[in-house]
Structure 1
Amino acid sequence: MADHTSDVLATIPYQNASNEKEAFDYMGSEKKSLDDVEEIDSNNEDIDKDNDPAYNVFPQIVRELVDFEDDPNMTVITWRFFFLSGTLTALGAWLTQMGFFRTTYVPYSIYFVQIASLYFGRMLASSLPQKRIGFGKFSFDLNPGPFSVKEHVTIVLAANTGATNNLGDYVLAPLQIFYDKPMNGWLAILFMLSCVFVGFSFASFARAFLVENPITPFPLALQQVAVFNAMRKSMEEDAAVAQKQMRVFWWSILAFFLWEFLPEYAFPFLSSLAFLCWFSSNPKAQFLGSGLGGAGFLTLTLDWSNIGSQCIYYPYWTQVNIFAACAISAWILVPAAFFTNAWDSALYPIQTQTLYLKNGSDYPTSALLTADNHLNETLFEQVGPPMMSAQLRWNYFFAYVAYMGSFVSCALFQGPMLLKTFKSYRQVKTTDKLTEIIRRYPPVPLWWNLVLFIIPVIILIILTAKGVLYMPIYMLFIGLAIGAIIVLPMAYIYSVSGYQMAVGYFNELFYGYAINAGGSRHPVGSLSYRVISGQCWYEAQSMLADMKLGHYFHVPPRKVLLAQVWGICVGVPVNYATILWVCKTKGDILTGAVTDPNRQWTGQTVISLNNQSISFALVGPKRLFADAIYTPMLYGFLVGALAPMILYLLHRRWPRARFDLWSVPVFSDSFENYWGNISVSFFTLFILGSINHLWVKRYHFVFWKKYAYLWGAAADTGYNFSLLIIFIAFSAVKTIPMAPWWGNNPESVERCFHVPTQGVASS
């Protein structure tokens, strides 16, 4: 959630940095609200339209960044669009979907898509001859002219939509890995497509309220506008600077591409530099120091998959929240439970996602599921509810804190801004300039949106009725209804604050109570519900942001629709193929039968989802919370409601203390991280983030502004390409493991040979 809660407006350079130390607030300056933006003086003398009601309805930052002139003759959809967007979307869908099964991974950088598509688009436009290919209606221009900004934006829109993982993996992966009942391939693709298109239709119906609303800036879209402008203007107006930037970009890609072969394949010792293990063989010291199965105390990593470019683009206040939560969880609570056997950690190991009986043996999940997908009541009376590790229990607690804290924090800290925005919108009596421009183009017909909604819903109804999704059909309609209801208010909050609410754990809990009305209690049913109720509205928010990006660049609405549908159609089959490949080639690792020495291919997300579904669907929260050890989990909702109130009162009393920067949702969401496999990331991330924000950005702002985001995108890209080549060379046809040597010890790649797996209080 930290990624969702980042105030991305803070990353846009509104004005030149000051070198006056006394004027610099190391944390507070990172969190600019829209009110802060309103106070910034415009540096663009060409846009001085404050007295024109068609312009002054926009926030000032929009008036500064967005071009209000439109060329309707610009090329938009060309063969270059299909070629570049298809290639970049497929690559991103594969890499991101594969990351779902890894413990850590670097997200596919949309800024790489922006940079690469501009570079190759301009190259194609300048090198290909003017020639028409094909016959009649099936012909096209080999060189349709200059690579326009609208064509560039449309390529990014397709990648924004399709170069992601699909939440259908919540259902498909557990079915194949844990239940050996893989879904038919065509049905799986239809399921994944349907959930995305339902979300897309939700977004289309909300377009008039959010996309054509001049008061809703969509901060993430604005950040992309800033990057688009900087890239294109630098290339067009200052070739020397652009060439230097591109040299840095490509050399950085090459450097990270070559480097990542070491920690990811040849020299995995570099992925976890556990200093405590080097100086002591004591089991307690080894557990504290080990980053692969221990607490990772002061452990560093040189594997970019454990870090990622968030050390650059996360605001510093976010990074402080994340580090504080992770350090308390991994460095204090985990060792405390492990060394003292607190919270029954002797019976249920502190760092495990396995479910147990009360005597410490594995929970008999398969025996509890009857042939008609109900709970075996007789056996349940004998074995009782599943027992979880202490870490999993506090993960649930803080997940509930984060969920409730999201709403309360937004209401208290952003409520006045939201109310001001809503009142301003109601007072608008004229069509704003951007909407005036976009309405010159044919709108998307209503029946197109109805088709995108009705056909996928029919498919979902059939899949549910046939038992493919393992849930009762009434839960399908409840999921769709809840998704439709929350899209507009939550997307509205997202559109003005950049804050995206997380609903996954709450959906799991809600399903567990609602399923008591009758129907299959198969664990996968709750995961299907989470996909339908979650994918739909998450997708709607993302697509609304993409529509706003197209709106800012005057891309015709029908072309925006085509780009998004094209991105979905390219991305989903790649998502499915990736899920299939990982489940078949990494199945033993994902089930725990084989241990990945580098602790990367652990599938901990899949394991966690399966255990959640067993606890809340098969057993159910009513039976689960009847046990006294689980009762405190529900108090997370109360804490989530009270903690933001306390911080808000403290902030009102002592505003200079910046209590508003202690984010309950960010802190709690980070606290719920599971550290059983890798705990090396957050310390290195915090060190790099501190260097980035407190030194480079503070004292070398011009250099930072020119190269920071470019370098981060290059690092992520180099890592992603390295992972791709490693896959092709060593896994695609035949698995070729790295030969054991000092830096790749099969017993412990980080050379922590004495890490205990159970509590060591008695040793």
Structure 2
Amino acid sequence: MTDTASAKHEDYLGEKRDFDNEKDMKFDDDINLEEEQENSPIEAVRLAVPITDDPTLPVVTFRFWVLSFLFTALGATITQYYFFRSTSGTYSIFFVNLVTYSMGKFMARVLPEKKISVFGYEMSLNPGPFNIKEHALIGIAVSTGSSSAYAIEIVASTDLFLNFRINALGSLLLIITTQSVGYGMAGMLRRYLVYPAEMVWWSNLVQVVFYNTMHNTDEFKNVRLVRGWSRMKFFWIVAAVTFIYQFIPQWIAPLLVYFDWLCWIKPFDMNFWAIFSSIKGGGALALSFDWTTIGGTTMYLPLSAQLCYLGGIMLNYWDYSVDEAKYDAGPPANMAPLYAIGFMVSFVSLSACCSQVFFFHGKEIWANWKRAIGSEHEDIHTKMMKVYPEVPQLWYAIFYVIMAILACLACEFYGTQLPWWGLLLSLFLGWFLTLPIGVMNAVTGYGPGLNVITELVIGYILPGKPIANMTFKCYGYMAMYQCNILMSDLKLGHYMKIPPRSMFTSQLWGTLVGGVFNYVTMLVIINSQRDALSGEKPDPNGLWTGQRVQTYWGSGLIYGALGPARMFAFDGKYWFIYIGFIIGLILPGIFWLLSKKFPNVKWSAINIAIIAQGMGAFPNGYVTGIVMILGTALLFQYYIYKYHKVWWTKYTFILSAALDTGAAFTGLILFLFLGRGISPNVGVDIPSWWANHYVGDNPSYPNAPYRGIDRCGAAGKNWTSGTL
């Protein structure tokens, strides 16, 4: 069966090796239904994921334990370190995959085959060649544990602003339970959000191609690209070129990151500045020549989803028509109009997500609910995974209950102000909304968060309790968020044919290691930089900041101490935000009715939840390079995919991985060695010139008379026109 499946996969890829001319390579249009059922019904999955497997490969090995521990600990430490720094940095999974590949190969060459016993479990130090499943499992463990735990913000907030330090046991309980409770949910929801073929989880396709390229598997080793290069050679060349190029926009000429050309028409007009500046405004029609701004996801995420998101950003430019002078003529406002609108669209996105999934995916979910495992309608990858013992649902259920009980204990005994019933309510809210959000993430690559709705709910129930508000938000939000992250990893394991019980082990291991190192790193930094982080004294070097913790604490004060009942009262200015729930619930239903009336139009592509997410992009951060993002998406997901399918098939995923990898390494080198990330004494400054002047609002700054590096706005507020 394996050889036949491989042959079929090559036909789908269109890579007939007897032909050199691309026009002679084409897909077989006469594939019968029986053959069609032997592969995924999702074309992108057929093109990226092999349908072969070797169940004899060792997975949870000595090399796995060593490398996953090292890189999870390193990732959790670095990410937590970045959390308290004024300059940002990332811990790239591509960096992890490349380094662990080399180290795994090295260990396979030098380690003896001696067997050791740990807690009664016997393993070989060297079970053979470093293999693709072992490598992928290391990456999954690292990605699970190398983030900054959300609960760190609770622990840091109480420590810095209330002089109340939750002890080590309580802190670790908060961190581990918030990171793990979604894990039990993921296991129980995997039948509906992992096993069905329609649940793609798009970013995993790049990872699958990346791992298969690195390990030169049978499906990839004979494929030849431009000039006869192998996929591996192509990957390294593109990554190296990107690595070198990225120094230009990221270090030498940052003007290329914020290329706001329309702003140059009237650089000192307040209206132009508010609409066209990427740094302080909406970034309308902005260009960017920085690959980290564009990103590899533009090359493969569904085009309809990307258009909805970008369309939402453009729709939000209408918000700039608010006349603030007239708005402020009434009673004093507590928040900016655009910020209030940001709340409304977050409610639109959340309710529209539920409505969209109910109307357009409800039938599929119900069918999956009724369908017993073993059905002949299962996806080919689900069928192939049956060779491995499954993790019983009971394991996940017990794990979830244990985490919920520990979470209740943490809340009751460690000063969180949140009673046990409040904790259970937050978990219920996470449960209730995880399924629709998970479907949205799996199908489109986009999904709303629960941070706003959670703090709003508990703000009404327990007003005057900021710590309770932060804790409720953390558990409700993270239950959903971690569940989605872990389900995405479960899907990667599904594609890579990693035994489910090995996945269970790796995800739990990564969570435990990451949580411990998050906490230890936080303690060290707070103990050494308390004054700078709390804002009592400025950091003389400007390297340490508590801004993220202050924002979290401030949100807890607004929704916990002040309370939404006052801020969003129905007789006040901001009552309109609740209309967002109604809009989000109704609009997808209208498009569903239209799909029944006019079935030839793909009404499901108009996704109100994603449009609303786009509309909320500017209030929550920079909007940069929209034109370049849109252009890349249209080029790859429309023109090349439609008219040059063979080229798209061969190049898109490996090209995306190579570009992202090269850019990630540039960012790492810049942060650590050129941008004073390690120490204020380690750095190199490019001489001041027209493309890299310092950004500031002081007329004496090198960028004057402009306000920012994008040549938009007036330094010192010396505006010449505009009314905004």
Q: Same fold (TM over 0.5)?
A: yes
Q: Return the match for 1:741 from 674, 688, 694.
A: 688
1:235–1:628 Cα change, 3 Å: same
Q: How does 1:48-447 map to 2 (within 5 A)?
A: 71-90=54-73, 93=76, 121=104, 125=108, 128-129=109-110, 131-132=112-113, 141=124, 143-172=126-155, 174-175=157-158, 187-206=170-189, 219-220=201-202, 223=205, 227=209, 231=213, 232-233=216-217, 237-238=221-222, 244-284=230-270, 285-329=272-316, 331-334=317-320, 336-337=321-322, 341=325, 343-344=327-328, 359=332, 387-425=334-372, 428=375
Matched, 1:474 2:421: yes
Q: d(CA) in 2 for partners of 1:297 and 1:60?
A: 34
Q: d(CA) in 1 for partners of 2:156 and 2:248?
A: 29
Q: Return the match for 2:566 from 623, 641, 644.
A: 623
1:564 alignment partner in structure 2: 507
Could you tell me whether the CA contact under 8 Å between 1:195 and 1:531 is conserved in 2? Answer: yes
Q: d(CA) in 2 for partners of 1:177 and 1:283?
A: 41
Matched, 1:693 2:637: yes
2:712 alignment partner in structure 1: 752
Q: d(CA) in 2 for partners of 1:639 and 1:425?
A: 36
Could you tell me whether the CA contact under 8 Å between 2:76 and 2:518 is conserved in 1? Answer: yes
Return the offset for 1:632: 0.8
> TM-score, structure 2 length as denominator?
0.77
1:276–1:551 Cα change, 3 Å: closer
Could you tell me whether the CA contact under 8 Å between 2:48 and 2:209 is conserved in 1? Answer: no
Structure 1 residue matching 2:622: 3-state secondary structure = coil
Could you tell me whether the CA contact under 8 Å between 2:212 and 2:220 is conserved in 1? Answer: no
Task: Kindly provide the CA deviation profile for residues 179-228 of structure 1, in whole angstroms up to 9, marking residues without a partner as x.
Answer: 666655664343221222222233344557776x6677554597468637
Query: Which consecutive unaligned segments of at least 5 residues does structure 2 have?
Result: 1-9, 16-27, 697-707
Between 660-669 and 492-501, the greater mean CA deviation after superposition: 492-501
Return the offset for 1:396: 0.7
Whichever residue aligns with residue 677 of structure 2, its letter is S
1:662 alignment partner in structure 2: 606
Structure 2 residue matching 1:227: 3-state secondary structure = helix
Q: CA RMSD in A?
A: 4.8
1:736–1:156 Cα change, 3 Å: closer
Between 555-564 and 625-634, the greater mean CA deviation after superposition: 555-564
Could you tell me whether the CA contact under 8 Å between 2:532 and 2:546 is conserved in 1? Answer: no
Whichever residue aligns with residue 296 of structure 1, its letter is G
1:411–1:593 Cα change, 3 Å: farther
Q: Return the match for 2:456 from 474, 497, 509.
A: 509
Q: d(CA) in 2 for partners of 1:417 and 1:112?
A: 38
Could you tell me whether the CA contact under 8 Å between 1:42 and 1:64 is conserved in 2? Answer: no
Task: Kindly provide the CA deviation profile for residues 464-507 of structure 1, in whole angstroms up to 9, marking residues without a partner as x.
Answer: 22344343333112223444555567657867887756433222
Between 723-732 and 216-225, the greater mean CA deviation after superposition: 216-225
1:342–1:95 Cα change, 3 Å: farther
Matched, 1:528 2:487: no
Could you tell me whether the CA contact under 8 Å between 1:121 and 1:147 is conserved in 2? Answer: yes
Whichever residue aligns with residue 418 of structure 1, its letter is I
Could you tell me whether the CA contact under 8 Å between 2:95 and 2:665 is conserved in 1? Answer: no
Task: Kindly provide the CA deviation profile for residues 646-681 of structure 1, in whole angstroms up to 9, marking residues without a partner as x.
Answer: 222333333444333221000011111234763324
Q: d(CA) in 2 for partners of 1:210 and 1:691?
A: 30
Could you tell me whether the CA contact under 8 Å between 2:94 and 2:661 is conserved in 1? Answer: no
Matched, 1:732 2:678: yes
Task: Kindly provide the CA deviation profile for residues 439-478 of structure 1, in whole angstroms up to 9, marking residues without a partner as x.
Answer: 7766657886577445544543343223443433331122
Could you tell me whether the CA contact under 8 Å between 1:418 and 1:496 is conserved in 2? Answer: no
Structure 2 residue matching 1:407: 3-state secondary structure = helix
Return the offset for 1:714: 2.7
2:21 alignment partner in structure 1: none
2:617 alignment partner in structure 1: 673
1:614 alignment partner in structure 2: 557
Could you tell me whether the CA contact under 8 Å between 1:264 and 1:303 is conserved in 2? Answer: yes
1:465–1:697 Cα change, 3 Å: same
Whichever residue aligns with residue 238 of structure 1, its letter is N
Q: Work out the percentage of aligned pairs sharing the same amino acid.
A: 25
Q: d(CA) in 2 for partners of 1:209 and 1:289?
A: 43
Whichever residue aligns with residue 247 of structure 1, its letter is K
Between 96-105 and 219-228, the greater mean CA deviation after superposition: 96-105
Could you tell me whether the CA contact under 8 Å between 1:442 and 1:557 is conserved in 2? Answer: yes
1:363 alignment partner in structure 2: none
Q: d(CA) in 1 for partners of 2:371 and 2:220?
A: 37
1:298–1:103 Cα change, 3 Å: farther
Whichever residue aligns with residue 245 of structure 1, its letter is R
Q: d(CA) in 2 for partners of 1:210 and 1:80?
A: 31
Structure 1 residue matching 2:349: 3-state secondary structure = helix
Whichever residue aligns with residue 425 of structure 2, its letter is I
Structure 1 residue matching 2:217: 3-state secondary structure = helix
1:421–1:437 Cα change, 3 Å: closer
Q: d(CA) in 1 for partners of 2:142 and 2:334?
A: 42
Structure 1 residue matching 2:322: 3-state secondary structure = helix
Structure 1 residue matching 2:239: 3-state secondary structure = helix
Could you tell me whether the CA contact under 8 Å between 1:81 and 1:151 is conserved in 2? Answer: yes
2:19 alignment partner in structure 1: none
Q: d(CA) in 1 for partners of 2:59 and 2:470?
A: 39
Could you tell me whether the CA contact under 8 Å between 1:59 and 1:217 is conserved in 2? Answer: no
Q: d(CA) in 2 for partners of 1:418 and 1:140?
A: 41
Structure 2 residue matching 1:166: 3-state secondary structure = coil
1:715 alignment partner in structure 2: 659
Q: d(CA) in 2 for partners of 1:647 and 1:594?
A: 53
Whichever residue aligns with residue 693 of structure 2, its letter is N
1:281–1:119 Cα change, 3 Å: same
Task: Kindly provide the CA deviation profile for residues 587-626 of structure 1, in whole angstroms up to 9, marking residues without a partner as x.
Answer: 9699799899x9x999987666445433332222222222
1:102–1:186 Cα change, 3 Å: same
Structure 1 residue matching 2:150: 3-state secondary structure = coil
Q: d(CA) in 1 for partners of 2:81 and 2:465?
A: 26
Could you tell me whether the CA contact under 8 Å between 1:405 and 1:665 is conserved in 2? Answer: yes
1:296–1:501 Cα change, 3 Å: closer
Could you tell me whether the CA contact under 8 Å between 1:102 and 1:604 is conserved in 2? Answer: no
